[in-house]
A = this chain, B = another copy of it.
Amino acid sequence: MQTLQEKASQWSGVDTADAFAIDDTNMFQKLGLQIFINLSTNFYTRVYDDEEEEWFRSIFSNSKKEEAIQNQYEFFVQRMGGPPLYSQRKGHPALIGRHRPFPVTHQAAERWLYHMEKALESTPDIDADSRVKMMNFFRHTAFFLVAGDELKTQKQQIPCKHAASKPAES
């Protein structure tokens, strides 16, 4: 049985080492807070204006754009070497758990990445090396979440608090 990260690597074409090359340098120190805010604002402006793929935009229709932007840049800042803004406000990122209400399909991952690539290209002052590292991280993470989404359709365990259950992921 494939683990989450094996599926993420296979589907994204990005191995774990390349995905987490964001940790080789401190991206937050290199780029600074404002660039992360600009990137997430740019990204969600594209998403909320996505008229070509209405089904994708509709995934976000119950979330406020300003909140989506803040959630995203605070997570990026925290994960890329900056202060733990996200956890101070909302607790653990728990990426799979928090994406549970959304249909994170292969198709949705590709559309998310399409907008993020455009946002990375059009946000000023992001150097090429940072862009490549972030895109690898995002691509791997998007498909990690697709793998996480598929857990929802797996058979539920016996709802008995004393029952041992066989782990699907080790």
- Using a CB–CB distance below 8 Å, which chain A residues touch chain B? 3-5, 8, 16-17, 19-20, 23, 55, 58-59, 61-63, 67, 83-84, 87-98, 100-103, 105, 107-108, 140-141, 144, 148, 151-153, 156-157, 159-170
Contact = CB atoms under 8 A, between A and B. Distances in A.
A75 B87 CA distance: 15
A162 to B, nearest CB: 4
A26 to B, nearest CB: 12
Nearest to A9: B91
A4 B94 contact: yes
A141 B92 contact: yes
Contacts of A168: 100-101
A67 B144 contact: no
A101 B167 contact: yes
Nearest to A4: B91
Contact of A159 (B16, B153, B164): B153
Copies of this chain per assembly: 2
B140 A91 contact: yes
Nearest to A21: B88
A144 B108 CA distance: 27
Contacts of A93: 92-93
Contacts of A4: 91, 94, 97-98
Contact of A167 (B8, B63, B94): B63
Contacts of A84: 20, 23
Identify which of A62, A101, A168 gathers the most chain B CB atoms within 10 Å of its CB. Answer: A101
Given A63-B167, A101-B166, A103-B162, 10 more contacts: A58-B164, A59-B164, A63-B170, A91-B144, A94-B95, A94-B96, A97-B97, A100-B151, A102-B165, A107-B161
